[in-house]
Structure 1
Amino acid sequence: MTLRMMRIGELAAASGLTRDALRYYERQGLLPRSRRTSGGFREYDSGAVDRVRFVKQAQAHSLTLREIRDLVTHQSDAGRTRCRHVRDLLARKLAQMETRRRELDAFCKTLQEYLEMCGRALEARTPMECPVVENIGRGPSR
């Protein structure tokens, strides 16, 4: 079966990315090097659309372009080797995201405390500086 070839503009239209983004993906190793026509135009096979969709979906799931490149460059690895590589990358990513979630949870708690400080200050109806601005460098009172 022969794959249909498309120029960069067609791939851009099919993928929803700009031509510049596609060139960037190619430079970063996220897309295989395009073939060139005799006139120097880039040509991609129809599999490039699937690759771009994979990259976009992986980005939507918080993988970095470096992590995605790492995944796609190991596509030629055989079954178990590739699966181990993917598992290890995803385990690292999960650990990073859990750390980030804890940081965000702590920050949400801080914001909640600041909101409560503002509420108490506004209810007091006495002239004063905003307690959050006064305490921002020190963190919320415990």
Structure 2
Amino acid sequence: MATKYRISEIAEKTGVTSDAIRYYERLGVLPRPARTAGGLRTYGDGLLPRVRFIQQAQAMGLTLKDVKELVANEGRSGQQRCRRVRDLLKSRLADVDARLKEMHAFRRTLRIHLQDCEHALEQEQPVCPVMSELGASRQ
């Protein structure tokens, strides 16, 4: 006979909050659970790997919308699913590359501001050049 879990037990076993599990259900990322006569949710063993999959997918940068799409494709062939996963990962990789480019540009700006501050301190200037550039009053 299959083991039945309450939502708190699923939360404890996966490290995901009960609220998150309910949210995943509302989004359709997790299936609606069976309920006891008293209305309590009950889950089978199959939910544990599904919740762990959601955690891993999010750690890889996939959104819950992406995960929902992957879950919706469960009936498709392995090749079809693999193509969709590949496409999602390519898209996320492009997002990461774009963010890295932005971060590198910001890093260069920070280095320039740091050099400006170092120079101002060495010269004992009364005004911080970075704050002046930002339009702030004397700081």
- Alignment TM-score > 0.5, same fold: yes
**Structure 2 residue matching 1:113: 3-state secondary structure:** helix
For 2:2 and 2:120, the matched residues in 1 are separated by: 68
Structure 1: runs of 5 or more not aligned: 138-142
Residue 84 in 1 paired to residue 73 in 2?
A: no
Distance 1:26 1:42 in 2: 11
> Which whole-Å CA distance do the structure 2 matches of 1:61 and 1:84 have between them?
17
- Paired residue secondary structure (2:71): helix
Structure 1 residue aligned with 2:133 = 135
The count of residues paired between Structure 1 and Structure 2 equals 135
**What residue is the counterpart of 2:36 in the other structure?**
37
In 2: Cα distance, 1:66 partner to 1:52 partner: 15
Match for residue 140 of structure 1? none
How far apart, CA to CA, are the structure 1 residues paired with 2:19 and 2:69?
Answer: 21
The letter for the 1-side match of 2:131 is V
Q: What is the alpha-carbon distance in structure 1 between the residues aligned to residue 86 and residue 2 of structure 2?
A: 31
1:76 CA displacement: 2.0
Answer whether contact 2:33 2:41 (CA < 8 A) is retained: yes
Aligned to 2:67: 68
Tell me which amino acid in the other structure corresponds to 2:73. H
State the 4+ residue runs in structure 1 displaced beyond 4 angstroms.
none
Cα distance, 1:90 vs. partner?
A: 1.0
Q: CA deviation at 1:118?
A: 0.6
**Unpaired runs of 5+ in structure 2?**
none
CA distance in 2, matches of 1:3, 1:113: 62
TM-score (norm 2): 0.89
Q: Give the fraction of aligned pairs with identical amino acids, expressed as a percent.
A: 47
RMSD (Å), alpha carbons: 1.4
In 1: Cα distance, 2:76 partner to 2:134 partner: 51
CA contact (8 A) 2:33 2:42 kept: yes
TM superposition score normalised by structure 1: 0.87
